Amino acid sequence: MKGILLINLGSPESPKVTDVKKYLTEFLTDKYVIDMPFLLRHFLVRGIIIPKRVRNSAKLYKSIWTEDGSPLIVHSKNLTSKVRLKSERPVALGMRYGNPSIKDAIIELKTKGVSEITVLPLYPQYAMSTTQTVLEKVYEVVNEVAKEMIIKEIDPFYNNSLYINILSESIEKSINLEKTAHLLFSFHGIPERHIKKTDPTKSHCKIDGSCCITASEAHKNCYRHQCFETARLVAEKLNLKEDFYTVAFQSRLGKDPWLQPYTSATIKDFPSKGIDKIAVVTPAFVSDCLETIEEIGMEAKEDFLEAGGKEFHRIPCLNSDNDWADLIVNWAINKA
């Protein structure tokens, strides 16, 4: 029997400090997230980052928490339910960090008689800190609890025409483009060194503004290229002029160089350029979460208005959109 496994990032069990600490520790000690030697990574995370950030992080999670729990978990579960209804195959949901775990999801599918799973990491663009760590965890767990299970992967879908159509339609449904002065594509940031580490050519990715638009096999693993390509394809679909939209990167951690331009600085600078009405879409995410609801919908909005902006609109993620659920089922069937 064939099954479908959806995997998202994860969330704390609650906004309590103890739960947030547990979640952040698991997340940040992943060697693909903070790519440092084991001892240095654990010292940095457990000795410096967690003590410094955990209480404030707990407050931020509390500000977005719903009666049903974490928005990311709620949206992911709702999406899974829709995919389950639309597909004749067993469907399970796992989180890379926290619960429901990838292990629990694979065991769930195994107990239902599934011998082949189609795995969809819910990340449109490839990155070592998202796609790579998810797939490695899947193979690790399968080797532990279901060695005979066959795994088929759905590739990053940043440039898939059907996904681009759905993303574009979600933007059109959310805002009136004719009355919006500017559209900002805000992608989650990653350290520049991650781009170079995942470059199979070891020479193409220079992050100089030209390598991402020069054809190369490196683009298969290049998060930066894939982000700009997603934005370009959406702009093309919506017939947007080049000066109508901007690409930026949010959620920087630490002092090392991360992908630029930074969303926070870009948003604060818009009003000085005469751009006082903006909409922000976050296509690195398919489910609304802390980074979209709080960081963009609250912090970025406040920064924009304080800088002189007049109108700010956050475009929701695809979440459990019906067309999005249909597309996932379509992918799973075609992959098999």
Q: What is the pLDDT, as a whole number, of residue 179?
A: 87
Q: Are residue 6 and residue 131 in the same domain, yes or no?
A: yes
For the segment 125-145, the average pLDDT, to the nearest whole number, is: 97
Q: Would the pLDDT of 333 be above 90?
A: no
Q: What is the pLDDT, as a whole number, of residue 143?
A: 96
Q: What percent of the chain has pLDDT over 90?
A: 92
Q: Are residue 150 and residue 180 in the same domain, yes or no?
A: no
Q: What is the pLDDT, as a whole number, of residue 281?
A: 98
Q: Would the pLDDT of 305 be above 70?
A: yes
- 52, 254 in Cβ contact below 8 A? no
Q: Are residue 99 and residue 197 in the same domain, yes or no?
A: no
Structural domain span for residue 123? 2-156+321-335
Q: Are residue 174 and residue 280 in the same domain, yes or no?
A: yes
Tens digits of per-residue pLDDT, 75-98? 999 999 999 999 989 999 999 999
Q: Are residue 197 and residue 246 in the same domain, yes or no?
A: yes
Q: What is the pLDDT, as a whole number, of residue 334?
A: 83
Q: What is the pLDDT, as a whole number, of residue 55?
A: 98
Q: Are residue 227 and residue 308 in the same domain, yes or no?
A: yes
Q: What is the pLDDT, as a whole number, of residue 240?
A: 96
Which of 160, 161, 112 is closest to 5 using CA atoms? 112
Q: Would the pLDDT of 129 be above 70?
A: yes
Q: What is the pLDDT, as a whole number, of residue 25?
A: 98
Q: What is the pLDDT, as a whole number, of residue 88?
A: 87
Q: pLDDT band at residue 254, thresholds of 50, 70 and 90? A: confident
How far is residue 160 from each of residues 73, 125, 166, 226, measured CA to CA in Å? 25, 11, 10, 11
Whichever domain contains 27, its CATH number is 3.40.50.1400
Q: Would the pLDDT of 322 be above 60?
A: yes
Q: What is the pLDDT, as a whole number, of residue 319?
A: 98
Q: Would the pLDDT of 142 be above 80?
A: yes
Q: Does the N-terminal peptide bond of residue 261 adopt cis geometry, omega within 30 degrees of 0?
A: yes
Q: What is the pLDDT, as a whole number, of residue 1?
A: 93
Half-sphere exposure of 182 (CA within 13 A, CB side): 25
Q: pLDDT band at residue 248, thresholds of 50, 70 and 90? A: very high
- 281, 185 in Cβ contact below 8 A? yes
- Order of all β-strands in the sheet with 2-10: 91-97, 2-10, 116-121, 150-153
What single-letter amino acid sits at 20?
A: V
Q: Are residue 142 and residue 242 in the same domain, yes or no?
A: no
Tell me how far apart the alpha carbons of residues 187 and 180 are, in angstroms, rounded to a whole number: 20
Q: Are residue 182 and residue 275 in the same domain, yes or no?
A: yes
Q: Are residue 63 and residue 130 in the same domain, yes or no?
A: yes
Q: What is the pLDDT, as a whole number, of residue 255?
A: 79
Q: Are residue 221 and residue 124 in the same domain, yes or no?
A: no
Q: pLDDT band at residue 312, thresholds of 50, 70 and 90? A: very high
The lowest-confidence range among 1-15, 154-168, 194-208 is 194-208
Q: What is the pLDDT, as a whole number, of residue 311?
A: 96
Q: What angle do CA 256, 202, 191 make, to 5 degrees?
A: 20
Q: Would the pLDDT of 336 be above 60?
A: no
What does pLDDT average to over the chain? 96
Q: Are residue 168 and residue 309 in the same domain, yes or no?
A: yes
For the segment 204-218, the average pLDDT, to the nearest whole number, is: 89
Q: What percent of the chain has pLDDT over 70?
A: 99
Q: What is the pLDDT, as a whole number, of residue 252?
A: 86
Q: Are residue 248 and residue 285 in the same domain, yes or no?
A: yes
How far is residue 307 from each of residues 84, 251, 280, 328, measured CA to CA in Å? 45, 20, 16, 40
For the segment 144-148, the average pLDDT, to the nearest whole number, is: 94
Q: How many domains does the chain have?
A: 2
Which residues are CB-contacts of 8 (< 8 A; sequence separation ≥ 6)?
72, 76, 93, 95, 96, 122, 286, 287
